[in-house]
Amino acid sequence: MSDIHNDTRLTSTEREAVQGVVDRALRASQNDDRTGIAAAIVCGEWILEIAENEVNTFGDPTKHAEMVVIAAVTEKLDRKELSDCTLISSLQPCEMCLSAMRFAGIKRVIYCAQQANVAGKYFVFPDLKIEDFERAGEAFEYIGGVSEKEVIHLYAAGDE
């Protein structure tokens, strides 16, 4: 786990986005109709979008926070290629979201709660690890456990 304010691996914009994602996940968890999982996309010095999980809202199992934010940003930028962006999530992205991230060209992901510390329900293929989403010869950076202590209670028992 890392203290967001002292984590030198993150830019100031990424730290701001992590805090925004944590705040959004915590707020959403207080509402029975919403799910306390949030994600953001950062590009350079800009937080392009913060979104939350919409699975319960729309009854669509593909509306994970990461999928929602990727769709919003590609529409906003009118391009499907996001290799200059970073994905940030309150929960380690699942296999579907990591795949979407990689299809969008995103090469950096920062997340709070780590797979090893949350309920198994968040990962359909638990033997498939984040390391498996690297492509041969292509850079891929993942930083987990950032501000984990602030959100782990949401995911530890699988109640969210």
7-52 confidence digits (pLDDT tens)? 889 999 999 999 999 999 999 999 888 899 999 999 999 999 999 9
Instruction: Supply the DSSP string of 93-125, one letter for each residue.
Output: --HHHHHHHHHTT--EEEEEE-GGGS-GGG-SS
| b (16+ CB within 10 A) / e for 134-148 | eeeeeebebbbbbbb
Query: pTM of the predicted model, to two decimals?
Result: 0.94
Residues 82-106: pLDDT tens digits?
999 999 999 999 999 999 999 999 9
CA angle 73, 129, 159 (to 5 degrees): 75
